[in-house]
């Protein structure tokens, strides 16, 4: 049997243009003539996705602003209510203190009244 040796080693394609041409040929085989339409559709989808992303980001920003305002409003309302409750509580405490009679003072007053009655 004869051995035929190839003196040239197999090497990858060194010419980038040749590689690009082969890649284009493979794309044409796979996608055919519709590659232009596919590329256009893909670009349209990318634009639509980016547009929707921007709309969503804007919506999220608006929602965050509204939530911040609502939280501030609730906080202010809560502070007002707490202050009102504190004032009402203090008024009730003052009323109770005013209505409550100290037994020692009452006892002394009654003794004084009794002594005055006895003197007369």
61 occurs within a structural domain: yes
Residue 106: give the domain boundaries: 19-119
105 occurs within a structural domain: yes
pLDDT score for 88: 93
45 occurs within a structural domain: yes
**Helices and strands counted in the chain (H then E):** 3, 0
pLDDT band at 102 (very low <50, low <70, confident <90, very high): confident
Q: How many CA atoms lie within 13 A of 42 on its CB side?
A: 6
pLDDT score for 78: 94
Query: What would the two tokens of residue 26 be?
Result: 């493979």
Q: What is the per-residue pLDDT across 25-35, written as a single tens digit (0 to 9) for each?
A: 887 777 777 77
What are the residue ranges of helices labelled H in the chain?
16-31, 35-99, 103-119
Query: What would the two tokens of residue 27 be?
Result: 């794309």
In sequence order, the 6+-apart residues with CB closer than 8 A to the CB of 22 are: 13
Report the pLDDT averaged over residues 45-50.
98
How many structural domains are present in the chain? 1
Q: How far is CA 19 from CA 16, 26, 77, 86, 109, in A?
A: 5, 11, 71, 82, 116
């Amino acid at each position: 049997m004869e051995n035929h040796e190839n003196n040239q080693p197999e090497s990858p394609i060194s010419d980038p243009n040749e590689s690009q041409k082969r890649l284009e040929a493979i794309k044409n085989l796979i996608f055919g003539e519709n590659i232009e339409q596919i590329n256009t559709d893909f670009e349209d989808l990318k634009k639509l996705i980016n547009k929707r992303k921007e709309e969503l980001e804007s919506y999220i920003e608006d929602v965050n602003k509204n939530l911040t305002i609502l939280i501030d409003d609730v906080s202010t309302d809560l502070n007002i209510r707490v202050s009102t409750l504190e004032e009402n509580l203090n008024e009730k405490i003052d009323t109770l203190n005013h209505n409550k009679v100290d037994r020692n003072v009452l006892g002394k007053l009654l003794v004084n009244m009794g002594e005055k009655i006895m003197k007369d």
